[in-house]
Structure formats: C-alpha cells, structure tokens
Structure 1
Amino acid sequence: MTEITKLREDICVLAKSMFDRGLTCGSSGNISARLSDGTVLVTPTGRAMGFLDPAQISHLDQDFNLLSGDPPTKETPLHAAFYETRSRTGAVVHLHSTHAVALSMLPETDPDNVLPPLTPYTIMRLGKVQLLPFFLPGDPGMRDAVRGLAGKRSAVLLANHGPVVAGKDIWAAAFAMEELEEAAKLAILTRGMDPARLTAAHIQAIVKKFDVDW
C-alpha cells in the first residue's frame, strides 16, 4: 500500500470515528495531513465526515493548489497557516465539537488559555489553547490570525465556531482534538464548583518532562 493510499484511508477512518461519536455533525469539520513529499491531503468541501470516500480526498501541492480529488474544504487556508508556521505539523483537525464551542462563548473563558489546568493530558497534548475572535466560515482572516501566533500554539479555539488542532501526524492531531473536547466538557461541568486544579509546580513539571510548548 502506498503512502498516499494509506493516509487517505486513515483520514476516512478517523473522520468517521469522530462523526459517529458526535464530535462533529452534518458536513462540518475537516482534516488535513501532509505527505513526505510536502504535498497535503485534505477532506473535500461539503462532505459529511462520516461518509468520506478515500478517492474523493483532495490532494494539494505544497502551495495548496488542487492536484487531484474533489475541491478541498473552504477552511484550507486555516490549515495552511499551521503548516506554514509550525514546521513539526504533520496534520490538522478542525471540528465543531459541542463543549469546545460552548466554552468559546462563555465570558469567564481566558482568551490566552481557554482550558483550565484540570488534567495532565490537557497540558501534554495541547499546551495553551488560544481563543481567536469570530470569523465568518472560510474567512482568510482566520489564516492571518493563526499566522499572527508565530507558531507558538498547536491548538486554537475559534469563537462561536470550533477548535483547530495541529499534531505531528494525523493520529496525534486526532487524539489531541479529542482531549480538547473532553477538557472543555470537564471545564463546563466543574464551572462554579471550585475544582482542584493542577498547581503551577505541577504544570511546570509536566511542561519540562514532556517538552510542551507553554
């Protein structure tokens, strides 16, 4: 099996898994992954993530121009910003997951780090998650906003829209995205209950041991 065939199939498997578990619905959400030659696969526009055909996955060149497959998601510029600013990025996942979107709308949410330090895995897999302002879907301004972070964040939360996570490969990005949604759920469930948070010393120990961007 060639690299591109395997990656196409992995994208479809992960997309269906996330769709089936309600992490995104309808035709929302998109995934991209970089091949060893620098070209990129990305889910096509207007397709439900639970029903993707590997042959329809868009194949883009290094400048994100379409080489083959269906037309790519309109959020391609958003994905491109992570590849351009974080050299370690091998994949990007963007969803409209319920708890993360809800967290983006609450006034108490810290825009510099939307997830309170409740579990070590939130820090290990995501670092700090930046809240970005509201943009119309497909707005090129999202790309500029991510570029403005200069590669300092592997994950962002688009206000009233949803999370975007970059990882070293498609599996790492998917797992980090799932961690973000679960962390958002925990944050909402425990809000107002004064939960025990990780201390500054705990956080620094995690950052040091797991080489986390912080």
Structure 2
Amino acid sequence: MSEEARLRDDICRMARSLFERGLTGGSSGNISARLSDGRLLVTPTGSSFGSLEPGRLSLFDADGRLIGGDKPTKEMPLHSAFYETRPTRTGAVVHLHSCHSVALSMLPDVDPENMLPPLTAYSIMKLGKVTLLPYFIPGDPAMGDAIRGLAGKRSAVMLANHGPVVAGKDLEAAVYAVEELEETAKLALLTHGLKPRMLTPEQIAKVVTTFDVEWD
C-alpha cells in the first residue's frame, strides 16, 4: 500500500472513531494530514466523520492548490496557519466541535493565555499551553490570522464558542492530543467551583523540563 493510500485510510478510520465516541457530531470537524512530498489530504466540506470515503478526500499539492477530490472544508485557514507557522512540527491538524471543550470556552473565568487548568501531567505533556482565541464566524480567514499571530508558539488553540484546533507531528499525535484536550476540559467542568487540587508550579516545571514541553 502506498503512503497516500495508507494515510487516506488512516484519516477515515480515526475520524470514524472520533465520531462514534461522540467527540464531534453531524458534519462538524475537519482533519488535514501532510504527505512526505508536501501534499495535503483534507476532509471535504459538509462531510461527516462517521462516513468519510478515502477516495473523496480533498488533495492539495505542495503549493496549496486543490488537485483532486471533493471541495475541501471551509476552515482551511485554520489548517494552513499551523503548517505555515510550525512547518517542521506539524504533520496533521485536527479540528473538532467537542462538547466539553466548547463549554469550557464559554466560562467567564477561563484564562485566555492557557485555558486548561493544570489538573494532570498528560494535558501539559501533549498540549503545552492552550490559547483561547475569540469567537469568529465559521470559515472566517481571520481565524488563520489569529493563529499566525501566535508565531508558532502553540500547538493547540481553542476557538471560543466553536471548538479546539490541534496540530501534531503526525495524524496519530494530533488525534491523541485533541482527545486529551477534551478529557481535560471535561475534568475542568466536573471540578469547576470545587477548588480541586491542581499541579503545583514546581510539578508543572518538572513535567515541562522532563518532556521538553513548549511552555513560553
């Protein structure tokens, strides 16, 4: 099986898993993944993660031109911004409308510089700091500009009242990271107002150093 055929299958398989576990519903969410020659496979607009077809994924050449497949997601600016600002560290981007992370983004006391409280080591290891971006109408190119404004310092952002966008070194890493974001958001909501025992600054620093986490 060729690299492209394998990646097409992997995108559809992982998307179906996310859909079946309720992490994004209807025709929401989108995924992109980069091939070794710079081409990009992207989920089509209006498609459901539960019923993607490998042969219908949108295909872009290394210069960003659509060369095959169905019309791509209207939220390409989100994906392009991560590939442009983190070119050596981004092999895939996943955007979901996952319930708990969206709910957390609506709370007034969330820190926009780091929206996830330090409840576990794993959210820090897989995500670093997650910046909360303002609300944008879906498809607005300004979403990409907001990500570019972070100058590649974040691998994960949360679009207020919309959903998380996570970049990873490959498809598997991006999927695992966005799952961790959703689980941590769920923990944050379950413990909100209960004064949970969080990781101390010293414990956070140890995780950051041990696992070489981007934390500036």
TM-score, normalising length: structure 1 = 0.99
Aligned to 1:199: 200
Give the 4+ runs in structure 1 shifted more than 6 A.
none
Greater shift in the superposed pair: 58-67 or 150-159 = 58-67
SS at match of 2:74: coil
Question: Is 2:33 the partner of 1:33?
Answer: yes
Please give the alpha-carbon distance, in whole angstroms, between the structure 2 residues aligned to 1:120 and 1:79. Answer: 27
Once the two structures are aligned, what percentage of the paired residues are identical? Answer: 68
CA distance in 1, matches of 2:111, 2:2: 44
Amino acid in the other structure paired with 1:139:
D
1:146 is aligned to 2:147: yes
Q: Distance in 1 between matches of 2:208 and 2:186?
A: 23
Aligned to 2:161: 160
Deviation at 1:61, TM superposition (A): 1.4
Counterparts of 1:93-108 in structure 2 under 5 Å?
A: 93-108=94-109
1: CA distance, partners of 2:51 / 2:152:
32
Taking only aligned residues, the RMSD between alpha carbons, in angstroms, comes to: 0.5
CA-CA distance at 1:77 after TM superposition: 1.4
Matched, 1:84 2:84: yes
Gaps in structure 1 of 5+ consecutive residues: none
1:64 Cα deviation from its structure 2 partner: 2.2
Q: In the aligned structure 2, how far is the partner of 1:143 from the partner of 1:109?
A: 22
Task: Give the secondary structure class of the aligned counterpart of 1:166.
Answer: strand
Instruction: Read off the aligned partner of 2:158 and give its amino acid letter.
Output: L
Counterpart of 1:187 in structure 2 is 188
Aligned to 2:129: 128
Secondary structure of the corresponding residue to residue 167 of structure 2: strand
Secondary structure in structure 1 of the residue aligned to 2:165: strand
Structure 2 CA distance, aligned partners of 1:119 and 1:184?
11
Match of 2:114 in 1: 113
Tell me the secondary structure at the aligned position of residue 13 of structure 2.
helix
SS at match of 2:185: helix
Q: Following superposition of structure 1 onto structure 2, how do residues 57-72 of structure 1 map, counting pairs within 5 Å?
A: 57-72=57-72
Given residue 66 of structure 1, which amino acid in structure 2 is its aligned partner?
L
Verify: 1:52 aligned to 2:52, yes or no: yes
Q: Distance in 1 between matches of 2:159 and 2:63?
A: 24
Taking the aligned partners of 2:39 and 2:199, their CA distance within structure 1 comes to 40
Q: 1:84-139: CA deviations, max 9, x gaps?
A: 00121000000000000001100011100000000000000000000000000000
Partner deviation per Cα, 1:35-77 (whole Å, 9 max, x = no partner): 0001110000010010000000111112322111111100111
